[in-house]
Each structure stands twice: as C-alpha cells, then as structure tokens.
Chain A
Amino acid sequence: MEALSDLAGGFSTALTPMNLVYVFLGALLGTAVGVLPGLGSAMAVALLLPVTFALDPTGALIMLAGVYYGGLFGDSITGILLNTPGNSSAIATTIEGHKMALDGRASQALATSAIGAFTGGLIATTVVALGAPLFASLASAFGPAEFFALTAFAFVAIAFVVADSALKGLAALVIGFTIGVVGIDSQTGTVRYTLGVPQLFDGVGIVVITVGLLALGEVLFVASRRRHVGGDKLVAVRGRPFLSRAEFREALPAWLRGAGFGVPFGVIPVGGSEVPTFLSYGTERRLDARRRNPMFGRGAIRGVAGPEAAGNATAGTAMGALIVLALPTSATAAVLLGAFQQFGIQPGPLIFERSGEVAWALIASLFVGLFVLLVLNLPFAPLWAKLLVIPRPYLYAGISVFAGLGIYVSAGSIVDLWLLLLLGLLGFLMRRHDVPLAPVLIAVILGPIAEVNLRNTLAISQGDLGALAASPATVVVYALLAVVVLLAVVGKIRSSRGADV
C-alpha cells in the first residue's frame, strides 16, 4: 500500500507540464533514432546525456526514460515495413511482421507491434513498481551454471523452431558460432580468429552483424531481384488502418504470453531481449501449428504481438533491475546507470530511501512514457506505412546511407564498414540460397554467453562437471529441456510416419 501512495506522489511529479514535455520529446527522439538501422537506444541515451546536464535531475531522467522506451517502439518499424530490422531486439518481430506488410497489412502489423510494446512495458513496469524485493531474490538465484543451463535451453528451444531444413539450419548455426568466437578470450586473454586485426580483438559488434546481414543483405537481395519484381513501388497498403475486434482478440493472448517471457529476462544478464523475443516467437509458432488454420508463414499477427511484448517487457524489468539492484543487464541500461550517477543518484537497494522522490517520479514517468508512445505510435502507424510509397530505389538507397552512417558513427571505424559490407554479401548469398538468417544471430548472441558461462562454471568448480547441474534451478531447466527434445522427436516421428502412409 505504501508503494501505491509513493507511486501516486511520483505521478504528481511526473505529470507537471514541463516534465510531460520532456517525456514527449524523449519518446519522439527515441522513436526516431530507433527507426534508423544501427542506431539504437543505447546510443541515443549516450548522445543525449550531455544535453540533459542542463536540466534538473528529475526532468533529465524522465527524458532519458522516454528515449529508452522510444527506441524500443521504433526499432521494429523498418523491420516490419522493409525487412530490415534496426536492432537485434526487433529480429523476431520482423519475421512475421514483414509478411503481414507484404500482405497489405502493414498498418495492422505496426499497430500490433505498438500495442505489444505497450502491453509488455506496462506489465513489466507494474512488476517493477510493486515487486522490487522479488528482483533481488531472482538475481541472486542465477550464477554461471544457471546461465549456461538457460542458454542451452534457449538454443534447443529456438533451433527446433526456426530451422526447417536441418542441414541449412546447421549451416547457419556454424556461420553464427564462427562469427561469435572471434575476439580475445575473456578468461585467458588468448587471441582467437582475429587474423591479427586489432579492431577484431573485442569481437564483431552485434550491431554490425545485424545491420550487415539483415539490412545491407536485404538491399543487395532486392537489387538482385529488381527486374523480376515489377514496378517501382513495394506493396499497396490496404484495409482499415486499425485493428479489428477479431484481430485484437487474436493478438491478446500472444501479447500476454510475450510479456510473461520478457519479465524475468530483464533481471538476468543473458544477452538482452533477443532470447525472450525468440522464445516467444518459437512458442507462438508452435502453438499456431496445432491450430486448424495455421497462420505462421503468411503473416501471423501473433508472431508480431508475442515477440514485441516480450522485448519491451524485458526492457521494462531491465529498468527495474537497474533502479533497484544497480544491475545493468543491457548496454542501454549500462549507459543509464552512468547517467544516474552523474545526477548524484546511486541506484541500488537503498535508492528509495535516499532519493525516493526522484526514483518514484522516474517509475511514474515510465508509465507516462508508455502512454505517450502508444498515443504517438497508433495514429502514426498508417503514416509510417506510407514509407512504402516511396519509390524503391530511394527507399533502399536511404537504408544503405543510414546503415553506413549508423555503423561509422558508433566507433568511427572503417574496418567496421568493411565488415558490414562482407556481412551484407554473406547475408545476400544466404538469402539467395534459402539459408535461414535467424539461427546465425541466435548463435552469435548465445554462443559466446554459453561458452563464457560453461567455462566460468568449470573454473569455479575446478573442473568438476557436476557443478553444471548442482542447483535446483539447473535441474529444472535441464528437465524442461529434456521434455522439449522428447516432444520434438516424437512429433517428428509421428509426422514422418504420417507422410509414409
């Protein structure tokens, strides 16, 4: 109850006209930056940080919170419309979202994504506001052994879903693992697979990989198809711009399930929101396959709703983990942690006692920011969809320009631009030969996490393999894993028998 009255106090601070303007500005800026490939919310927050020094701490943090959520709303827009997700967190949404756009349902896909982002964020923020103590126990339950179990689970759960052709799926995984293993080994300092290029010592950046494989690869692919796909325009947008009651009802369970996946992941640093978004995508797809009229592959609204809600729910609880535990679980959160400290606010278990007013105002402004973003994004969905009216050469030329810009400005590195081009060519070849791209990204993201945690576990246990499954949490995860594998195998046998008859 006390939390509620504190929260009410927070709202009264956050809802002053000036602070509302800050939230609005932040949300707008965040969305704009999120839309561009390669520029994510981490960068937006870092760039705006010096600007916010001029504001009072509350106003500044409120504005940064708006940027943070804005980036998450924005990053799936280009993915849905053009098949070029701006960030790795939007990859899962893109898969079905772009199919919806090609089917003329771009506005609906955007609206589904906006509501999904809102729902996920809302549920997560509510959890943060009311259940802070829960976080501490969840965070302290996860050590390297548990992380490894979790990544192993995610691997298997996701790989079964996203790769239809086993061989090509494996090929994609190999490519992803290879890219992921480049760089200095964090535990021993051994230099691996860098060919002596110092710029590769820290590995290939995930943004470079995402933008290269997905955005630039798509531009190249579109170029190679241009004579074949007639016309200068992409697809006509048809139908009502908003969701019908039936569509809303169809998406609702996926939104809620997605948020369910996302909430716990915000607290544990296993690679940000990629894992929960893919887990949600996989679940929705598997559930869908059991229905009489499966929609996946043809633009399933649930394939957009689930991952988007999952992504934003992760971001929401990550904000909570940051405020309450001082645990930065994503790059953006790490930048924000620095920002808090700049304003003399030390996040952590004691934040409510020491800077209670600012902390509650911040949590309240997260709610406000979500509403502002929903209001901004729903009417804009049809407007965004108008992007598709731009002549194709200009559209893809623009994507190339922004891809080059985004990659160059983040590190000022020409080497990164060459990597971007090589990865673009790789992405193009893979598209051309029907090798799925999603497993590459999964392997790139999860591979290193799995390796580090496996080796940390064994280093801590001094080589005792039993440490991998010593805690109840790991046993539960491995048991679940066994069930998933068993179900998948049984399913395969059944379907192949069915085919034989």
Chain B
Amino acid sequence: MGVVLLVPLVGAAAWDARSSGTLSGARTGLTIIAPASTGGGWDGLARQLQATMRDTDVVTNPQVVNVPGAAGTIGLAQLAQMEGQGDVIMITGTVMVGGVEINDSPVGFDDVTSLARLTDDYEVIVVPADSPLQSVDDLAAAWQADPGAVAVGGGSLGGTDQLLAAQLAQEVGVPATDVNYIAYSGGGEAIQALLSGASDVGISGYNEFADQIEAGALRALALSAPEPQPELGVETLYELGYDVHQGNWRGLLAPPGLTEEERAELEAIVAETVATPEWAETVERNQWVDVTLVGEDFADFIDEEVARIQAILEEAGL
C-alpha cells in the first residue's frame, strides 16, 4: 500500500527536479541570478524581468536564483565559473562596480560577458525640513568651512550615494577623504537619521526619499540626473552649475566563454523583452529611466564606469 503511493510521489518529484535541472536552453528555462538577497533592488529587477519574460512568452519558464553577498561580488564569482552556459544571466549595476573595488574581488567584469544595460535611477540630495542649508551652495560653503561638521548619511560604502558625495565634495574643492560619510544599511535607517537630526545631509535614490519630500519632512536640494527633470520640481546639479552627475544603472551579465550564437540569442531575448509594452509599464511603475544599451557598446560603457569609479574611490580613500 505504502509502496503504491511512494512510486508516483517519487516519480513526480524526480520529474520536477529533472525539468528544473536540465540545461534546457535560454528560451525555455532561462536562469536569472539576482546577486542579492530577496527584497532588494536587484532582486526586484530580476523578478520583474522574470514576470515580463513569462507573461510575454519571450521565455517560457524563467527562474530567479538569489546569490547574495558582498555587494554582488559573490554572484559575480559564481557567474565567472559557469563557463559556456548559454542559459544564465545575472543582474549587475553601479553598486557591483564599486563592490569589486571595495572588496578587492579577484573576479572582475573582464571575467564575464557584458550583455546589456537596462535601467537608470538618479540620486537626490536632501536635508531635513528645518535645516539651515537652503541650497547646494550652502552645503558647499559648510563643507569648505569644516567638512567634518557635516554628517552625510547614505547607503553602504562604495555605493552610488557615497560616490555622489565624493564627487560633489571634490567639485567644490573639498578632499573626498574629509567628507564625514555615515553608511546606513537600509533606506529606513538613512531616513530615520535625517528625521532625528543625526544626519545633516542625506543622499539616496530619488524614490527612497520621494514620499518624505512630498510630505515636507525632507527638503530636496538637487538631483544627480544628467537631464533636467522639470516634473519633479528639483533642479539637477548640472543646472545648478556643478559638473557632477551620478546614476544608478542596472544591467545584465552572462557567463564567460559563450559562442557567438549563444550570445546573440541572449541579446535577442533582452531586446525582445524590453520592447514589450509590459516592460514599459514596469519601468514606468518603478520610476526608472529606460537606458537600454546592448552588446559591445555596453562592454565599453562598463570599462568607462570601472575606470571612473576606481578614480573616485581612490580619491575618497577607500
């Protein structure tokens, strides 16, 4: 009796394991690695890509795998070992470029295939509503007077928030090493530090602060976007006369050692996905900027980013 039940049970399980484990080709069972734990920005992008690919039938049954740790460099190291696997892609972004530098990762972007850039986000510089700082000029003046006295709160070390702080400081003639940057582990903590007056200045993605800005608890000084964003009512650093911009782009990598056909197939999948109205809707809903860039151009872009961010981090003493 027990055996009669056991056989179909084990059979079904084995079948399920087999179907999820087989190298089934990029069009049927593409694996999307999110090099972060569930709930973060990269995980969100991976799951939205998965949903879009599935709903539009670009890929029949895409899977998301989380490989969290060390600003994505653990995922990067794993991807570098998947030599020649044409059915895997991984999320990447600005933070990973910084992470490779900060963590002295032995694996870099040269060890994997650069696939595509997808989205961008810009940063916002805010102060508490009752702050004496009224403009970026005030911030520059305060920095020049005593950089240590201005506590700047943002995300983890080497991330986009700190990169922006370092660049702006340099732009106004303050050594980036003198910036009193306090790294908070989550958006919630960074907001809290501003509301309680512990941080004098906050830097984060616009979406994280948007609500507090609208509610009047925080005041936006400037955006880090390259183009003016009139609908937000906040000027960009360019518009204010500072030659600084800092995005938070996200893109896709693939394993090394792919054949031309495999690579072309993955690029086609990405191109088809981002061309769907469903993806446009997703971008809109998340208030991202679509900055799709596929293939060689993206590889060049990454090289530039690596060089640029290396230089900033060196200046900042990290």
Residues of A within 8 A of B (CB): 42-43, 46-47, 49-50, 53, 136, 139-146, 184, 186-189, 191, 198-199, 201-202, 268-269, 326-329, 331, 334-335, 338, 341-342, 344, 346-350, 410-413, 456-457, 459-460, 462
Contacts and interface: CB of A to CB of B under 8 A. Distances in A.
Contacts of B198: 143-145, 456-457, 460
Contacts, number: 137
Contacts of B195: 136, 139-140
Most chain B CB within a 10 A radius of its CB, from A47, A144, A184: A144
Given A186-B185, A198-B74, 10 more contacts: A46-B43, A50-B47, A53-B51, A136-B217, A187-B183, A199-B70, A328-B188, A344-B285, A410-B38, A460-B151
B65 A42 contact: no
B9 interface: no
A189 B212 contact: no
Contact of B215 (A184, A331, A349): A349
Given A269-B189, A348-B211, A459-B180, A201 B69 contact: yes
B258 interface: no
A143 B196 contact: yes
Interface in B23-74: 37-39, 43-44, 47, 50-51, 65-70, 73-74
Nearest to B162: A189
Contacts of A269: 186, 188-189, 192
Contacts of B82: none
B191 to A, nearest CB: 7
B286 interface: yes
Contacts of A457: 198
Interface residues of B, number: 52
A189 B286 CA distance: 30
B182 interface: yes
Contacts of B189: 269
B84 interface: no
Nearest to B216: A349
Contact of B186 (A136, A198, A328, A456): A328
Contacts of A350: 211, 214-215
Contacts of A327: 188, 191-192
B68 A202 contact: yes
A326 B74 contact: no
B193 interface: yes
10 A-B pairs with the lowest CB-CB distances in the bound complex, closest first: A348-B211, A143-B198, A46-B38, A143-B196, A335-B39, A201-B70, A349-B215, A140-B195, A460-B151, A328-B188
B62 to A, nearest CB: 11
Given A50-B51, A198-B73, A462-B148, A348 B187 contact: no
B197 interface: yes
B193 A412 contact: no
A349 B157 CA distance: 29
Interface in B210-243: 210-212, 214-215, 217
